[in-house]
């Protein structure tokens, strides 16, 4: 999945801010305090939680404490300058919150998807190795329907082994005349129709391992189920666009 890279740069800073906001008001005992930065105290529990949320590993515990101290000094200076009250800061928090919600939602949906691949499916995939396939691809419009305007599509003839890892799982198993619809993204789709399958005179046995085929097929299944789920959400949603950007 290709999303949320923009939030990674602010996670470390927001970790300390979040801990400061949600931590109980009750002051910790002296025994619990590990470090103090000006008037702000850190307990061992707070530091352990912060360490878990960091993707980078420090060389030593002292390096980690130094990084926490530096961040806290910067946070306090930002608060002194009232940056936390500026609209740009609130907008960054809002973006972080919303994108984090989407990431967690998609991660959970991915975990719920059953994308197991049987040995029979792998055998079927391998049976297409060395075969030349002539097929049409046509872009769909609106929701997926049985009617496809093939006159607007494109026709290709390729050796199955030379096809991309995206097209191979789509075409594997299709016989001449068969059509398969594919969710390209959450709200777009295209259809593939096989016209002819023939043996190639120069074909060799497939060098692709069964595990590679299993992974290709599994990823395809997972992507299709996820995009299909997003498509259903979009179809069920009440979406209206009142102002369209003028195109040049």
User: Which uninterrupted H or E stretch holds 78?
Assistant: helix 61-80
Task: Give the C-alpha separation, 84 to 79, whole Å.
Answer: 6
Q: In the predicted model, what is the mean pLDDT of residues 238-245? A: 72
What do you get for the CA distance between the two ends of the chain, in Å?
A: 32
Q: Are 179 and 191 within 8 A, CB to CB?
A: yes
Q: Which residues 6+ apart lie within 8 Å of 84 measured at CB?
A: 17, 78
How many whole angstroms separate alpha carbon 166 and alpha carbon 145?
22
**Distance from C-alpha of 19 to C-alpha of 30, rounded to nearest angstrom:** 19
Confidence at residue 191, expressed as pLDDT on a 0 to 100 scale: 92
Whether 23 has a pLDDT exceeding 80, the answer reads no
Q: Which domains does the chain have, with CATH numbers?
A: 7-111 (no CATH), 119-236 (3.10.50)
- Three-state secondary structure call for residue 203: coil
pLDDT over threshold 90, residue 214? yes
Which three-class secondary structure state does DSSP give residue 192? strand
By three-state DSSP, how is residue 129 classified? Answer: coil
pLDDT in tens, 50-88: 877 776 665 688 888 888 898 889 989 999 999 989 999
Give 85-141 pLDDT, tens digit per residue: 999 988 998 999 999 999 999 999 999 999 999 999 999 999 999 999 999 999 887
- Mapping DSSP to helix (H, G, I), strand (E, B) and coil, where does residue 204 land? coil
């Amino acid at each position: 999945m290709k999303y949320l890279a923009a939030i990674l740069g602010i996670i470390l800073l927001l970790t300390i801010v979040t801990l400061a906001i949600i931590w109980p008001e009750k002051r910790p005992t002296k025994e619990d305090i590990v470090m103090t930065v000006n008037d702000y105290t850190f307990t061992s529990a707070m530091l352990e939680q912060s360490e878990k949320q960091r993707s980078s590993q420090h060389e030593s515990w002292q390096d980690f404490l130094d990084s926490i101290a530096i961040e806290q000094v910067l946070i306090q200076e930002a608060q002194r300058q009232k940056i936390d009250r500026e609209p740009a800061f609130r907008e960054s928090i809002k973006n972080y919150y919303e994108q984090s919600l989407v990431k967690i939602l998609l991660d959970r949906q991915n975990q719920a998807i059953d994308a197991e691949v049987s040995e029979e499916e792998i055998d079927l995939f391998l049976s297409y190795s060395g075969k030349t396939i002539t097929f049409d691809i046509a872009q769909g419009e609106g929701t997926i329907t049985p009617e496809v305007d093939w006159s607007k599509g494109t026709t290709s003839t390729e050796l199955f082994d030379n096809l991309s890892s995206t097209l191979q799982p789509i075409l594997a198993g299709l016989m001449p005349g068969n059509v398969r619809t594919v969710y390209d993204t959450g709200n777009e789709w295209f259809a593939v129709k096989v016209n002819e399958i023939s043996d190639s005179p120069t074909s060799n046995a497939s060098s692709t391992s069964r595990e590679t085929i299993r992974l290709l097929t599994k990823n395809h299944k997972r992507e299709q189920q996820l995009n299909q789920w997003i498509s259903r959400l979009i179809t069920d949603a009440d979406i209206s666009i009142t102002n369209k950007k003028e195109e040049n």
